[in-house]
Amino acid sequence: MEYELVCGLETHVELATKTKIFCSCTTEFGGEPNTHCCPVCIGLPGTLPKLNQSVVEFAVMAGLATDCAISPISKMDRKNYVYPDLPKAYQISQYDRPLCKNGYVELSDGRKIRLTRIHIEEDAGKLVHQRGNTLVDYNRSGVPLIEIVSEPDIRSIEEAVEYVEKLQMIMRYIGVSDCRMQEGSLRCDVNISVRPKGSEKLGTRTEIKNMNSISHMMKAMEYERDRQIDLLESGESVLQETRRYNEGTGCTEGMRGKEDAHDYRYFRDPDLVTIRVTSDTVAKLKAQMPEDPRTRLKRFESEYGLPEDDARMLIEHRRIADYFEKASAGIKNTRAVANCITGPIFARLGSEAAKDDFKVNVSPENLNALIKLLDSGKIRMNLVKSTLEKMLDTGKSASEFLNEKDLAGIDAETLQKICKQAVQDNPNAVKDYRNGKTKALKAVLGAVMKATRGRANPLETEAILSEIMKKAD
C-alpha cells in the first residue's frame, strides 16, 4: 500500500525585542547562566508581569506578513504543566483568543499552507544535561515568542523545508526576529502522521519536539514517516505521543504521551489585562513594514532584469536587498552589481548570521561608482572584481586602486601588438587551435587580458586573436 505523509508545524519564533515579554531583563543571547533573569522571570511569589507593548506590535506585523486576520481583542492565558524549566509551573500563553488567525504561507508551486493562528507567549528556561546531572538556565525564561501554528497541509519533507525557510525569510525580513536556528531563535515542533494515499481521514499523529536544524528536521521526519508506515504494515497502531530526535542514532524516541488542550487546564491569567488592537494601530504598523519580500522578488526580476535565483539570494536578507538597490542607482548593468554581491562579497560572509548583519567595507555608493566605470566601458568585469577585492580589504574607494592607464582603454594598434605577442608566447595553444580545438583560444585570450589588466574588450580581442592564429606559421 502507498502511504501519504501529513504534516503540520508549530513554529516558535523568538522576537527581537530588547527586553523580555513581562519584565525589563535583556533578551540578549548567551551570557553566564542565570544572569539574565529576575524575580518576574523565575516566578517568585508576589511578582506581577507587565506585557511588553513591542511584543504585541511585532506579533501583529508577523500576522500582517502572513495574511492573517488581526484580532481586535485577545487575552493571555495560563498553560499549566510542571517541568524543571518552568519555575511558575505554568506558562503564560494564549489559548482561545489568539492575536492573529487564518493566514497562510504560499509555496513556490502556488500551494498555500494555511495558518491556524499566531499567538504570543513566554519562553521557558533551558535544561543542560552534564555528566548525568540536569542543570537549569533561566536566562531564556520570559523571552518573548510567537507560535505560528499551521494546518496539517504539508505533504512532503521538501514542502516542510520550504515552508520553514519561507517563514524564516519573512520574519527576518520584517525585522521581528533574526530566526537563527543555531541559537534557538526559531524552533519547530513537527506533527506528523501517515495515511493510505487517497484517504481523507487523518492518521494518528506524533509530535517531534524542538527541531532547531533544517537538516535534523528532514532526517527526523524521514525516520518517523518510515517508522509509522512499518507499524501500520505490521498490523500495529501508532501511539499519539511526543517524541524527540536523537542526533547520534538518527532516530526519534518516545518522551511522553501527547497532551491535549484539556490536559493543560488553560484559564485566563488574572494578572494581565485584555489586549486591544485598534484598526489605527494595525494601519500604523502596516505602513511601517518594508515591501513584502515576495513582491520585491518579482520586482527585482522585472525592474532589474535579474534571474530568479540571483534575485532570491539578494532579497533573502533585507539589508542585502537595500544595499543592492542603493548600489544599482543609475546603473545599466545591474546584473554586474548582483554578481559583485553574490560573488566576492558573499565569499566573505561565511554564515547566514553574517549575511543578516551584512557588515562590509564597501559602501553601496562606492560599489555604484565602480560599476559606473564598467557601464562607461572604461574597465572590464575582471578588473571590477580584482578592484572590489582590494576595496573589501581596505574600505577604500575604487579611485585609490585605478590609475589613468587602467581607465584609458587600449587603442587598436596597441591591442594588435599585444595579441601578436600573446600568440608568439603560446605556440602550443596556437597549434591546438589550428587542429580544431577552438577552446585553446581562451588560453591566449587569458594572456592578453592579463597583459592589459582586463582593459581589452574580450569579444574584439577574440576576433583579432582568431585572425592572427589562423595565419600563424
* Residue 91, strand partner residues: 79
One domain for residues 294 and 276 = no
Nearest residue to 318 via CA among 116, 168, 194, 162? 168
One domain for residues 437 and 373 = no
One domain for residues 118 and 53 = yes
Q: Rounded to whole angstroms, how far apart are CA atoms 60 and 469?
A: 68
One domain for residues 369 and 440 = no
Q: Which of 283, 301, 316 is the last residue of a domain?
A: 283
Phi, psi for 109 (deg, rounded to 5):
-90, 5
Q: Rounded to whole angstroms, how far apart are CA atoms 245 and 223?
A: 9
- 76: buried, middle or exposed (CB in 10 Å: 19+, 13-18, 0-12)? buried
The crossing angle, in degrees rounded to 10, of helices 308-315 and 293-304 is 130
pLDDT for position 185: 92
pLDDT for position 208: 95
Nearest-5° Cα angle at 356, 353 to 358: 105
Residue 452: partners with Cβ closer than 8 Å, 6 or more residues away: 410, 415, 418
Q: Which of 228, 262, 283 is the last residue of a domain?
A: 283
**Grid coordinates 505523509 are at which residue?**
5
Q: Computed from CA positions of residues 402, 403, 407, 410, in that sequence, does the dihedral angle turn out positive or negative?
A: negative
Nearest-5° Cα angle at 60, 126 to 99: 75
Cell, residue 232: 501500520
- The CATH number given to whatever domain includes residue 464 is 1.10.10.410
One domain for residues 57 and 171 = yes
Domain residues for 437? 412-471
Residue-wise DSSP of 267-318: EE-TTSPPEE--HHHHHHHHHHSPPPHHHHHHHHHHHH---HHHHHHHHTSH
The total domain count for the chain is 3
One domain for residues 122 and 218 = yes
Q: What is the pLDDT along the chain (473 residues), one digit of tens a residue?
A: 899 999 999 999 999 999 999 999 999 988 899 999 999 988 898 899 999 999 999 999 999 999 999 999 999 999 998 888 888 999 999 999 999 999 999 998 999 999 999 999 999 998 888 888 999 999 999 999 999 999 999 999 999 999 999 999 999 999 999 998 888 899 999 999 999 998 889 999 999 998 999 999 999 999 999 999 999 999 999 999 999 999 899 999 988 776 666 778 999 999 999 999 999 999 999 999 999 888 999 999 999 999 999 999 999 899 999 999 999 999 999 999 999 999 999 999 988 888 888 999 999 999 999 999 888 877 778 788 889 999 999 999 988 887 666 666 677 788 888 888 888 888 888 888 888 888 888 888 888 888 877 777 777 888 888 888 877 65
Helix-then-strand count for the chain, H and E: 17, 16
Beta strands (DSSP E) in 305-430 are: none
One domain for residues 160 and 297 = no
- 69: buried, middle or exposed (CB in 10 Å: 19+, 13-18, 0-12)? exposed
Q: Which SS3 state, helix, strand or coil, does residue 395 take?
A: coil
**Grid coordinates 519536539 are at which residue?**
209
pLDDT for position 405: 63
One domain for residues 267 and 392 = no
The secondary structure element, H or E, covering residue 254 is strand 251-257
Q: Which of 262, 283, 304 is the last residue of a domain?
A: 283
Q: Rounded to whole angstroms, how far apart are CA atoms 367 and 384?
A: 10
Measure CA of the first residue to CA of the last residue in the chain; give whole Å: 72
Nearest-5° Cα angle at 303, 300 to 306: 50
Q: What b-and-e string marks burial along 429-461, b requiring 16 or more CB atoms within 10 Å of the CB?
A: bbebbeeeeeebbeebbebbbebbbbbbeeeeb
One domain for residues 20 and 55 = yes
Cell, residue 75: 487575552
pLDDT for position 406: 64
Nearest residue to 414 via CA among 461, 352, 469? 461
Q: Rounded to whole angstroms, how far apart are CA atoms 344 and 366?
A: 15
Helix, strand and coil percent figures for the chain, each rounded to 5: 40, 20, 40
Given a contact cutoff of 8 angstroms between Cβ atoms, the answer to whether 187 and 181 are in contact is: yes
Instruction: Say how far residue 453 (Cα) sits from the centre of its chain.
Output: 38
One domain for residues 53 and 121 = yes
Backbone dihedral region of 261: left (phi > 0), alpha (psi from -120 to 50 degrees) or beta?
Answer: alpha
For residue 328, what are the CA distances in angstroms to 336, 365, 401, 431? 9, 9, 21, 44
One domain for residues 18 and 87 = yes
Q: Rounded to whole angstroms, how far apart are CA atoms 210 and 82?
A: 18
pTM for the full predicted model = 0.81
One domain for residues 177 and 316 = no
